[in-house]
Chains A and B, each alone.
Chain A
Amino acid sequence: MSFELVVAILIATVPLLVIFPSLFALTTWLERKALARIQNRRGPNKVGIPCTRIGLFGLGQPAADGIKMLFKEDIVPNGADRLFHLLAPILALIPAMLVLCFLPLDFSFVAVWDESIAKDIKAVQGFALDGAVIFFFAITGINTLSVFMAGWASRNKYSLLGGMRAIAQMISYEIPLVLSAVVVVMMVGSLNAKEIADAQMGWNWYVFTPWGLAAFIIFFIAALAETNRSPFDLPEAESELIAGYFTEYSGFKFALFFLGEYISMFAISGLAAVLFLGGGEGPWVAVYPWLAVGWFLAKIFSLIFVMIWLRGTLPRLRVDQLMAFAWKFLLPISIINILISGIAWHLREQGAAVTAGVWGVSLGILYVTAVGLNKLNRANVKPREYKYAE
């Protein structure tokens, strides 16, 4: 364990541990402000610089919330399983932070005081793991375990029910998530996140192709469901199940769940940016290579903003509508998407006319499938009959 290796490992991991929690704080502020503006009000704008009356648009609100959570009393229910009650929020946070390592963020522009160390740092950067995408999905699957632990350990029927529903939702939506990522993996021919990002050089991002666009939409919807975000937030809904599987959590443990949820939102948006939006690509990257991180974070933030926007706009789905949507709509469409992208990959270098024909046919097939599945899933309700008292 030489000194250079230790410094290299620190530079590869410490920015992640520092940047993403501060982005989490910024995102909570952004969410409250954006939701407020959608709902025609202003959101927090009083908490700014302490001990003064200057409210800097409420930017001190995340800090105030954090301090409040730290000082709350930690209540554990009487018959609860104490070990699991403690472990569940920790187990919710670990996979979320672990998957951040698989994203191709390159922090090699961090200034190092010694040139000999800077040479070795390139060796640990960008974590070019050969099976990065599948490790991402494997570790995201561990979230379900922490949800079950939280629901079971609280010794509360509503928590258990909320936990079971949350697990059912998460495992149902894992399938369209993985199948729509398979489309991009097929086109690139590698599971390596860096290679997938490099294959989208210039402006040929995968989201600009018909099958890529369909895959991106399916991936985004499934990502919303995986992180229990609205309109799929039945497990956390206040009007349904009090707070679902984290009813009995207070204080810092609740803050850990919250942190885990937001960081897994970042991680899945990061994967969507790598797979479909050409993570790190943008104008002037060839000239200034350190801009790649900036573009990557900008893409993640735009996806997070769309998630917040959807939360403020759409009503919540009922649990049977949610499951029917995953199994009867998203799954068939993602399978047909894989078929279409396979055919398109075989016909890829055949000239402009063939490419245009393939695009047209695939758009047609996807549209017809979506409309057909929609009609098939529609409930057969006859028009209403009114009976009057005679």
Chain B
Amino acid sequence: MQVQVKLYGTLGKQVPGYDHRQGLAVEVAEGANVADLMARIGVPLKKIGMVSLDGRLAGREASLQANMLVKVFHPIFGG
């Protein structure tokens, strides 16, 4: 199945040729989870602050569904 992936901050640098306006279309196995997807596209989990699946925050083990929009964010700090 395929999912759409958007990488925020400087995470796009982990994926050669990443274009933020396009995002990525990634093929993953049925039953794959967030951690599997990150391993597939080469983004280390330690570089990630949060992930959303179709607008809902999700953990590393959350299962993916076909055509989901997966947004991947860096850790944040601020004020």
Partners in one complex: no
